[in-house]
Homo-oligomer: A and B are copies of this chain.
């Protein structure tokens, strides 16, 4: 029995639709190879937050799509999560991550061969769901462009690994691609396929982008402030792998000399080095300053949502976004 993340218990109408998406994903990834099939099912059952299909569905509900379009809406919403899962699996090959969502990663448990093919299989399912969801090749085109931008964000991040000269601009460019692009696509596609008014369709992109940027910034802040137990993944993993995110970039921009002796150790950072790094971040107020920057994106998103035409589901969109972007989990 598939379940959603408990956060959705407070939003039952969306929860029901998200369960339909999950069941469709499992149906679409039914294949002869049981190891790979089970790998996908395990990811689905690990109760990710399903934010991309949720935003797709929330925007689609602001529109005028008929009940006949229901199956197509679910297929397109599901496709956003499938692309997300594919990128997670392929990223874990690159990061050599051992844990994700509290479970061992695909490549750690089954080897990189299974991880490469499972990711590729999910990419084929992603386009398969899209072809079920729309008769418009333009939507396919939009998705190929989005997928390319997501990859460009990942590649950009990879290029800046262990780069102590990385700037806020570099960081913003990476996260706009690797994270915000898929939020932007989900909101826009939901509004478009849900047949929203042109005003909503037009604003959906920037709302999605701001939510995505804020979400990634908060995730990067949590990496420095949470314990592994509460976050269900290794903490301070990024910095060990040379991925320098917002708090650290603010530290480097403000007081590079203080951070360099630690960062120059590259992958040889010990636990006590990491503790020293966290102390330095606090001394330089990097966490607070990162939170303040994330806050500007949160407020821009909430203000734009608030200005959308009145609709019963608008309050859910506002409330969810506020909850999500003020979370400490």
Contacts and interface: CB of A to CB of B under 8 A. Distances in A.
Interface of A: 31-33, 36, 90, 93-94, 112-114, 116-117, 119-121, 123-125, 127-128, 130-132, 134-138, 140-141, 143-145, 147-148, 151-152, 154-156, 158-159
Given A137-B134, A140-B137, A148-B128, A155 B36 contact: yes
Chain A interface, >50% SS class:
helix
A30 B219 CA distance: 31
19 contacts: A32-B156, A33-B156, A90-B117, A90-B120, A93-B93, A93-B112, A93-B116, A94-B117, A112-B112, A114-B158, A121-B151, A123-B147, A124-B151, A125-B148, A127-B127, A127-B147, A130-B140, A131-B138, A132-B141
Copies in the complex: 2
A66 B291 CA distance: 59
Contact of A131 (B123, B125, B144): B144
Contact of A152 (B31, B113, B141): B31
Contact of A144 (B124, B138, B154): B124
Closest 3 CB pairs of A and B: A128-B144, A131-B141, A94-B113
A100 to B, nearest CB: 16
A152 B33 CA distance: 8
A152 B112 contact: no
A141 B159 CA distance: 34
A266 to B, nearest CB: 16
Contacts of A113: 94, 158
B152 A32 contact: yes
Contacts of A119: 116, 120
